[in-house]
Amino acid sequence: MKKISQEGKVSFPQAVKDFYQGYFDFTGNTTRSGYWWVILAIFIAYVVLFILTISVPLMAFIVLLFSLSLIVPLITLSVRRIRNTGLKSKTILALYILYYAFYGTFMMSFYSSLLNSLSSVYSDYSDSYVPIASMNFSGSALVALIFLALSLFISVCMFLPTDMFATKSNNSILTSIFSKKA
């Protein structure tokens, strides 16, 4: 495993090479161009795979394997990209723990509501028809809002320039969240 520390402009081949060499590297940095070149490469790969899937249905299994193989390196890539914006590792870890906790909570609430609606539609004991559109997401509005805010923050970080959040302050609270600007 090679530590990825991109600086300046990164070419398409270099970005893809760094993506695969830094498969498990959560410690380096990835520039904006390095991140977006990899996203473009993955998009092109998916387009090719889906075109092949149309002609050969067995290719759907390969698409699934390809998608599963991208989970860890895409997380490491996004962690390196967010670190490049000036957030510290502990802040990024807390951000991702919150993100996946709220994602899990939101999805469990969604599927629970969906299953409850479906069961009432097909139940012999139901006196009335309850359309799926009337699913009840009681108590999950705040969870959905926090999940949306975290998702937007992580997405916006992918567009931010290097050291956007870095600080020149010597405040111990700020320096525990943000990296020091050089």
Two tokens, residue 27 = 């410690």
pTM of the model: 0.81
Q: According to the model, what pLDDT value does residue 5 have?
A: 67
Task: Indicate the domain borders of the chain.
Answer: 1-84, 87-182
The pLDDT assigned to 34 comes to 92
170, 7, 174: which is closest to 84 by C-alpha? Answer: 7
- As a whole number of angstroms, the distance between CA 38 and CA 170 comes to 35
Residue 128: per-residue pLDDT: 55
Convert the pLDDT of each residue in 94-134 to its tens digit.
Answer: 999 999 999 988 888 878 777 777 766 666 565 555 555 55
The per-residue pLDDT for 69 is 94
Query: What is the secondary structure of 65-106 as a DSSP string?
Result: HHHHHTHHHHHHHHHHHHHHTTB-HHHHHHHHHHHHHHHHHH
**Structure tokens belonging to residue 53:** 């899937």
CB 155 within 8 A of CB 76: no
Segments of the chain with pLDDT less than 70:
1-6, 119-139
CA distances (Å), 41 to each of 11, 45, 110, 155, 160, in order?
12, 6, 32, 18, 20
